[in-house]
Structure 1
Amino acid sequence: MPEPLEGPLEDRLERLPVVGTRLSFEGRVWDVRTDEVDLGEAGVVVRDYVEHTGAVAILALDEQDRAVVIQQYRHPVGAFDWEIPAGLLDVDGEAPHLSAARELHEEADLTAGSWSTLVDHWASPGGSSEGLRIFLARDLAEVPEAERHERHGEELGMPVRRVPLDDLVAGVLEGRLHSPTLVIAVLAAHALRGRGWVGLRPADAPWPARSRGRSRD
């Protein structure tokens, strides 16, 4: 029988040797890389995966416990889904919490006086390197009209709503809301709120599981 585990579960960050690699596809936002990975006794296997720069998302809660959500068209799933504001970590040297503040400004016309790390996750660890950090933003304020970001492309005319956190939890559990980042964010916030927000980490908390970003051959 396996030996019992001691202490809390924690993912082990350990990259196995890569004996061969090539860039199979270079995209606008992400690439596809093909690696030959040495698994030791299991031999060498070939893995194709999305090489991603990483991203941040924001669960912005107002004084009435309403979360800010946006609606965007997502072509791969053929749906206008409800999401929380989010964006890529594509500015060199920009701290993740500052990227999050920029995205909240650009996508929701809001600033926040209080920032915390809510939860970290991998978008799809079997097929993508994307690491995503979700922040909790509170003490919200509207960006003055003259300072608002001018939206273009898929963000043009993007609906923005404030929805009670409990209604979002119900939407997730009833199968009406499907964005993975929204699902993770609202369930994590619901759990932490029930604990009096004990367990929130600082906005600049260490992030060892962050995506390594895109590389080039």
Structure 2
Amino acid sequence: MFSVVSDEVTMPGGGVAVRDYLRHVGAVGVVAIDDADRVVLVRQYRHPVGRRLWELPAGLIDVVGEDLPAAARRELAEEADLTAGRMDLLIDLHTSPGCSNEMIRIFVARDLAPVPVDQRHARHDEEADMQVRLVELDDAVGMVFAGEITNAAAVAGLLAAARARAGGWAALRPATAPVIR
């Protein structure tokens, strides 16, 4: 998932300093919104913070050769048992650029349909007892401001989705838009 890297960096004043950071494989997340304006939230245990968090369906870019929209569709199916008839790019987010190069690309998925029962992903490990809930987008935004949703990708994705919806979804980019480096 990540490795710790030490680089020697030339500072603006000419000196050199060692900077340690986490090199991350990258991730995708999905704001899946249904026809009733509800978003899919998943709740799972996160050991580093010692509690369960409300999050978006999301996961690592860990399948060789898989493009980002396909990874997002896979994570939506695995974590929420849903497919999307429409997938657009919502935002790109550097989660903690002071200590990691991790970037998560967050998509908005619409025209949702259930994955057939016989084709659903078997959940293991931290996903084994994952809760999946549909929450009205405005209520999910309220959960952000109430401190009930603290996962950075979920906070950013939900706020961005609310703003994009208010603009009639006109600001969305194609799911295949290139990553800006």
TM-score by length of 1: 0.81
Structure 1 or 2, whichever has the larger Rg, is 1
Q: Deviating runs (4+, > 2 A) in structure 1?
A: 39-42
Q: Which residue in the other structure is 1:196 paired with?
A: 168
Cα distance in 1 for residues equivalent to 2:91 and 2:14: 33
Moved more, 99-108 or 36-45: 36-45
The alpha carbon displacement at 1:176 in A equals: 1.9
Q: Which residue in the other structure is 1:135 paired with?
A: 107
The alpha carbon displacement at 1:39 in A equals: 2.5
Counterpart amino acid of residue 105 in structure 2: R
Cα displacement string for residues 42-101 of structure 1 (whole angstroms, at most 9, x for unaligned residues): 411110101100000000000011000111101111110000000111122211000110
Structure 1 residue runs without a partner (length 5+): 1-28, 210-217
Counterpart amino acid of residue 26 in structure 2: G
Cα distance in 2 for residues equivalent to 1:85 and 1:39: 39
| Selected match of 1:152 from 120, 124, 130 | 124
The two structures, once aligned, show a CA RMSD in angstroms of 1.0
Cα distance in 1 for residues equivalent to 2:105 and 2:19: 25
Structure 2 residue runs without a partner (length 5+): none
Q: Which residue in the other structure is 2:49 paired with?
A: 77
The alpha carbon displacement at 1:198 in A equals: 1.4
Counterpart amino acid of residue 172 in structure 1: V
Cα distance in 2 for residues equivalent to 1:208 and 1:169: 27
Q: Please show how residues 9-158 of structure 1 align to structure 2 within 5 Å.
A: 29-158=1-130
Cα displacement string for residues 165-194 of structure 1 (whole angstroms, at most 9, x for unaligned residues): 000111111222111111001100111111
Alignment partner of 1:41: what SS?
A: coil
Cα distance in 2 for residues equivalent to 1:177 and 1:91: 28
TM-score by length of 2: 0.97
Cα distance in 2 for residues equivalent to 1:188 and 1:36: 36
Give the strand-richer structure, 1 or 2: 2
2:54–2:148 Cα contact (<8 Å) kept: no
| Aligned positions, number | 181
- Is 1:177 the counterpart of 2:138 in the alignment? no
Alignment partner of 2:158: what SS?
A: helix
The alpha carbon displacement at 1:208 in A equals: 2.5
Cα distance in 2 for residues equivalent to 1:38 and 1:204: 35
Q: Which residue in the other structure is 1:165 paired with?
A: 137
Cα displacement string for residues 95-128 of structure 1 (whole angstroms, at most 9, x for unaligned residues): 1000110111111111000000000010100100
Cα distance in 1 for residues equivalent to 2:157 and 2:14: 37
